[in-house]
Structure 1
């Protein structure tokens, strides 16, 4: 049907596997082709366009976005990632813009970076290996670089938090051991006092008996 992936209206980016839905990247024609969506079991569509377009037989999330270097697409990264993540639990997902080159590709790159802890280069190269025309505009690439730095910072904070928890746990264990060391002599003193009291009582009893005799 198609000679190469230049001609496809959409391409499979992540194949369905073990009950998890696959992810497809495509253009407007793919989203409008209800027969194609049915054929590939696509039940959710993420639309990244300046105008909403009706989609039949699938749940749709529309992100109003222009293919402009100045457009703040990164404002919608988290919303888009959450939608893809939730929908792939139950169905295949199509992410598309007008041509499947820039806007939708940038959104999917952000998803891949967060999902698989990929760098921006790894994400773009993977997308281009599946759909060779992928080419987010320079403004979107800068936003993806910022997103990459944000992910790195979050990972570093998570690592520091884990290290802090482990350190506090070690301190707690040490404190417990110290408490046990401190309690132990006190316990010994308490038992010694008890013994001395009993000894005094016994001596008193002996004195009383001696007086009686």
Structure 2
């Protein structure tokens, strides 16, 4: 797995699994960095605002989803998961991005981790947050992941109100950056 320093986690290509990477729109424009990581496929979750710039170098799946509560991101769970699985089956590696690499792309990576690793949402969330501390799917996307959690495991591993969810994210981010060592909400 790639070693990534904490400063790079804010705007870079972050390794989630050996075949899965996450980042923001600026990282998606880093052709050399993507190639160095071995990326062959890209999921652009911000298709309305981010161009898919390197179609000669990568296979793209462009999804037009806004980072707002009214969007049904769960409608894209199967297609994005299948795209990743297909890429991996052919020996490829996938980079998932949106504008900031925090909400839409994180939601898709969390869905994939839950499905491919058979991890509950809480475990997937903690793992992804370690790799990219800035992740924070919007609350409606979080609720869609909770629904997936319930469908997969007949229970929700995370059941937080909006305020609890915000505190949870802030605490995990602080912990990932070495500022907090213990917190009761976790």
Q: What secondary structure does 1:99 align onto? A: coil
CA drift at 1:50:
4.4
**In the alignment, what sits opposite 2:20?**
23
Structure 1 unaligned residues grouped into runs of 5+? 16-21, 154-213
**In the alignment, what sits opposite 2:53?**
55
Q: What secondary structure does 2:16 align onto? A: strand
Query: Would you say 1:93 and 2:121 are equivalent positions?
Result: no
**In the alignment, what sits opposite 2:113?**
112
**In the alignment, what sits opposite 1:67?**
67
**In the alignment, what sits opposite 1:45?**
42
Which structure would you say has the larger Rg? 1
Counterpart-to-counterpart distance in 2, 1:149 and 1:81: 18
**In the alignment, what sits opposite 2:159?**
none
Q: After superposition, what is the alpha-carbon deviation per residue over 1:10-62, rounded to whole angstroms, capped at 9, x for unaligned?
A: 200002xxxxxx11000111111211111111110011014151231100001
Q: Give the TM-score normalised by the residue count of structure 1.
A: 0.65
Q: Give the TM-score normalised by the residue count of structure 2.
A: 0.74
Query: Would you say 1:128 and 2:154 are equivalent positions?
Result: no
**Structure having the larger proportion of residues in helix:** 1
Q: After superposition, what is the alpha-carbon deviation per residue over 1:114-142, rounded to whole angstroms, capped at 9, x for unaligned?
A: 11111111111110010000111100010
Mark the CA change 1:132 to 1:38 in structure 2 (over 3 Å): closer, same or farther.
same
Higher RCO by CA contacts (8 Å cutoff, separation 6 or greater): 2
Mark the CA change 1:114 to 1:2 in structure 2 (over 3 Å): closer, same or farther.
closer
Structure 2 unaligned residues grouped into runs of 5+? 155-186
Mark the CA change 1:3 to 1:119 in structure 2 (over 3 Å): closer, same or farther.
closer
